Amino acid sequence: MPIKLILRWDIQPEKESEYFEFLVHEFIPALNKLGVEDILVWYTAYGECEQKMAEGTVGSQEEMQRIVRSDEWVSLTGKLETFVTDFTYKAIPATQGFQL
């Protein structure tokens, strides 16, 4: 069963340009290299929730576990956290449509 990875965070105001460069040139390509596919990123313009949400899918629960336990994942999310606050992620069974 496909698994959806959902990530959320707020950008540190003083690091917006560095964050964007990291997101485009490192974060998304690294997620692809780890095996996360169909990555989408949203910006929240209104409401009481995290500023950014990203999602991607992997083929199975076992693959997701391999990804989040890897040294590459730890390094990648650690670097993301130098640009953001309130970083969280979860993995859920993928279904059609928008999922929170």
How many domains, in total, are found in the chain?
A: 1
pLDDT band at 98 (very low <50, low <70, confident <90, very high): low
The verdict on residue 100 lying in a domain is no
pLDDT digits (tens, 9 = 90+) for 16-57: 999 999 999 999 999 999 999 999 998 776 767 678 899 999
The Cβ-side half-sphere exposure at 8, using a 13 Å CA radius, reads 11
- What is the pLDDT at residue 27? 96
The verdict on residue 98 lying in a domain is no
Instruction: Name the residue range of residue 51's domain.
Output: 3-93
Q: Higher-confidence residue: 1 or 82?
A: 82
What's the CATH number where 57 sits? 3.30.70.100
The CA distance from 21 to 27, in Å, is 9
The verdict on residue 32 lying in a domain is yes
The verdict on residue 28 lying in a domain is yes
pLDDT band at 94 (very low <50, low <70, confident <90, very high): confident
